[in-house]
């Protein structure tokens, strides 16, 4: 059965760490549908790991700098679009 994990969580198939946003485990190639908490070992559907947080122990996965960089780039892009529309009128 395929598994899901995010940065700070592990693949439910092989147990190795998986970067945030990966659709498949880079180690074993499993499609990621369930997650394995790196702290308590809870295994469950990815929907239970809301905001990359384990539903059993509360462990929050580290999104790392990559997640913050993407969020900053999206925010900057939205700001530029809003500015362009404001100046267009």
Q: Domain spans of the chain? A: 9-88
Q: Is the pTM of this model over 0.75?
A: no
Mean pLDDT along residues 60-79: 66
**Residue 65: what pLDDT?**
45
Residue 87 CA to residue 51 CA, distance in Å, equals 36
Tens-place pLDDT, residues 26-55? 889 888 777 778 788 888 887 787 777 888
Q: What is the reported pLDDT for 89?
A: 66
What pLDDT was estimated at residue 63? 47
Bridge partners (DSSP) of residue 70 are none
């Amino acid at each position: 059965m395929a598994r899901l994990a995010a940065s700070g969580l592990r693949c439910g198939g092989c147990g190795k760490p998986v970067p945030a946003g990966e659709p498949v485990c880079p180690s074993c190639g499993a499609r990621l549908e369930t997650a394995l908490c790196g702290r308590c070992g809870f295994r469950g559907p990815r929907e239970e790991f809301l905001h990359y947080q384990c539903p059993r122990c509360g462990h929050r996965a580290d999104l790392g700098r990559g997640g913050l960089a993407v969020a900053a780039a999206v925010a900057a892009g939205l700001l530029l679009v809003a500015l362009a529309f404001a100046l267009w009128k």
